[in-house]
Structure 1
Amino acid sequence: MYKYKCLNPIAKVGLNNFSDNFTATDNVDDADGILVRSAVMNDMEFSDKLLCIARAGAGVNNIPLDRCARQGIVVFNTPGANANGVKEMVIAAMLLASRDIIGGVEWVKANARDPEISKLTEKSKKKFAGTEIAGKKLGIIGLGAIGVRVANAAKLLGMDVYGFDPYLSVDAAWNLSSDVHHVTNVDDIYAKCDIITIHVPALDSTKGMINDAAIAKMKKGVIILNLARDILCDENAVLSGINSGKIRKYVTDFPNSTTAGHDNCIVIPHLGASTQESEDNCAVKAVMEMMDYLNNGNINNSVNYPKVDMGVCTKPRVAIFHENVANMISQFTQGIGELGININTMVNKSKGDIAYTMLDLESEVDEGLVKKLESIEGVFRVRVVRGNL
């Protein structure tokens, strides 16, 4: 029986997918897997029993990825599960920034008790006039699950769409409208586009990518949307751009004391993926990833280990978590061969300096084999996969 612990409320439509060999536990130290949304885990100590963490969402900056990798703890996320919810929020953000809808609504509330409000409306509405998004150039930085959906929807709304992603995947390319201009230099986005939206992960290389230098290359009156990660924009640089008139509006989904209440900043309380559908989709995907890994050893959508899928576990199966260095495979096969065990199938994949090897064997796995493999320098963990228990 595998045990899982939820650190945050997880949609029941997801939890209901757990098979009979899974049960919930209140004791995190007794869990084989942890399901999490926003709970901060960076300072948590993990028990030797913990095998995986599944984040019901995309961002994983609340999880210590490197430490987990070195402990043989696989961290999953759910890319694309909330993509439609975020896409719809991006479209809403473009409309809110282009048309002063919020200002108009606030004016109506402020004048609600005036018996002449109907007449005043016709005189005052000019203050809230905006521009249409049809015909405008939209620049999308990052063409993953969300960026592709935004691009395709924007084309249907009559926008001229430019996309930048040096790591565009095959799946994303297939799903992307052929009418989207795929540029190879992000500076083309900055120079050409009326509205710029960012959809890249939070990495050292993307932190503060919208800075003074980037803003200087943009068109006067540009609208910037950040519904991806708070750290992608240097918000002091953004405010300077607003104050100088370079930036028309800045829309962010991440409230803080820098932008909240500032003129021409539309600050949304992190609602991008806050839909019932997104939460359900993320929960289902996280549970399915966890079950496949615990039952079969398969890794899909991990952020700290490579993708490995050997199907349903029907033979004695061993999973080895190790450094990505030379001669590891030869040591594994030699050690197994010395015990007279035949290898039926083997897969080895790496991700940076981390690697994962899975082997289906012709004989049952005993403690002697596990200890032999664990003794090899560079091995973090050896796990015997027992299928559906």
Structure 2
Amino acid sequence: MGIFLKGHGNIDFLKVVKKQRMMNDILKMHNVFFTIFRNIASIIYKIFVYSEKYYYVSQGSAEKKVLFLFCHDVHTFRPDCTSMFIETAKVIDKENYDIIALKDKKGISFIFTFQLCKLVIIWLLTLIKEKIGISVGLYILREAIDCYFAKMQISSLVNESSIKLLVLFYDADSRDNYFSQYFQQLNIPTATLQHGIQLAPRKGLEDNIDFAGIEFGCFISNYYLAWNEFTKEEAIKAGIKENQIKVLGISKCIGINPLLKKENSNVIGLILDGKYEEENNIPMIRLLNQLCVKYNIKYKLRYHPDYKGTEYLDYIDARYCIATNKRETLNDFLSSVKLCIVANSTVLFELEFYSVPFIRYSSGNLKDKFVGYSGISFNNYEELEKCYLSIIKECVIVPRYMENIAYNYRRFFESFLSCKSNAK
């Protein structure tokens, strides 16, 4: 079963809003009436006022090009994600790629409003006919309006016959999902980047967003550009075909500067987990407090981007914890520490790239994202102390994973420019 709306061709809107539906089911939205009211207000507003404009960030001159479509505002979206996307595009020559992004720009068009009013009525009748529930129906209407306006703009910008590959940031998101479907209907292959740790659904944790397999469950593109073999295995478990997965390396590490290590640093960096595994943070801090007291060493915290940077002040030992600078880049943070402690954070992969020694906290329960992952780990103080001493005494060196990351992505992208067939 699919939902297809006039003006959108054969694009299935149940797939477009699948991520939102899955998240709502997991979070069990309690204030349903508020959500419905908010979506109705949003739809009315979008009919009369358009608020986004797509534009070229970079435009190539070649006859065959790769289109990097970033359905976010480059000025307000997470800077690390924006940088990752743009740096990934830059691995190929400038004339061979276009980057299109959006920016906030409100405006009014009576012609567009008139067209939308007619379409929204037709879309609404289609949803009623298909017996789509009101909550899902409103999400579909909201996205149908946004995507209709976005498609008009992008179609006017792009010479679609010159595009040989579409690259998206995250095809589980509704807009990316829409354009992956749209370009595939034009016989243009699509690829989505990996931007963080992504897992197959884990039995017993179906009510946790991080373990529900949302990213892979919403995968719609032709290719998934994975960071490493760990992610590839998770993708295969989730049902993605192996020939669709290309292990190219950590795109987040393209274009970054090498670490300038501070000599004689004896500081331990603690990488805190995000809110869906926040139960790991307090045990890690308490164990690290013990270690620092015994060996008279300092530590500093690295907060998840969703945190303010003050959430764990009541648990740190102020004698040993260095003040946290929330604005400090990961590169600067890692440059200032001797080793790191990490649990479920994506930063683990970046530690490998930077060759930073690390100890992994293993909770021993279902919510351990890296179950079976190689490397030293601990669950209690005795194990932490043993791991720490082994790193200090034996000077453990972490081998850098995939140094030729930019080359790997370049080779993949250029395979679509140099021949008629898809990447092998």
Compute the TM-score of the two structures, normalised by the length of structure 2. Answer: 0.26
Return the index of the structure with the highest Cα Rg.
1
- The structure in which a higher percent of residues are strand is 1
Compute the TM-score of the two structures, normalised by the length of structure 1. Answer: 0.27
